[in-house]
Amino acid sequence: MKKCLIDAGPLIALFDKDDKYHRAVKKLLKSYKGYLYTSWPVITEVMHMLDFNVNVQIDFLKWTSMGGLDVVQLSQNNIYRIIELSEKYSDVPMDFADATLIIISENKKIDEIISIDSDFYIYRNLRNKYLRNIFKI
């Protein structure tokens, strides 16, 4: 089964019907066959951006709890790698949530991502590979 990371932007778009990417993300995820992985910092970012409506936040959490996402737990051992990535990409800069997604890609050997951000065309993982964004804007 395929494995893919997902960033906050597409998740926000999926649950915000007024988002300009809503239809495109919904179409992509309907046809996607595989597992979607993300991190708790991404979940936090999504919840913050969906704070315009508590029912939308609850819908997102219900979808996640029913298996919409596999939320990967990072450990204290990952903090050093987050520091490394933050220093390496300080000119971009890399945010905390993005760093956690790179770490998940390294730990789970995931080479694909669904993202609206162009930053993932810059970041490389430990295998010196870019993540291939399967979301075509």
CATH number, domain containing residue 20? 3.40.50.1010
How many Å apart are CA 102 and CA 81, to the nearest integer? 10
Per-residue pLDDT tens for 97-108?
Answer: 999 999 999 999
SS3 (DSSP) at 43: helix
Per-residue pLDDT tens for 73-99?
Answer: 999 999 999 999 999 988 887 899 999
32 pLDDT band, cuts 50/70/90, is very high
| Paired tokens of 82 | 């987050």
122 pLDDT band, cuts 50/70/90, is confident
pLDDT given for residue 125 in this prediction:
67
Distant-in-sequence, close-in-space partners of 103: CB < 8 Å, separation ≥ 6: 74, 78, 81, 82, 85
Q: What's the average model confidence in pLDDT over 57-66?
A: 98
- Which residue has better confidence, 126 or 66? 66
Report the percentage of the chain scoring pLDDT > 70. Answer: 96
- Which residue range forms the structural domain that includes residue 93? 2-133
For the chain, what is the domain count?
Answer: 1
Rounded to the nearest 5 percent, the helix, strand and coil shares of the chain are: 55, 15, 30
Per-residue pLDDT tens for 51-61?
Answer: 999 999 999 99
Q: Using an 8 Å Cβ cutoff, are 126 and 31 in contact? A: no
Question: CA dihedral in degrees (69, 75, 77, 81; nearest 10)?
Answer: 30
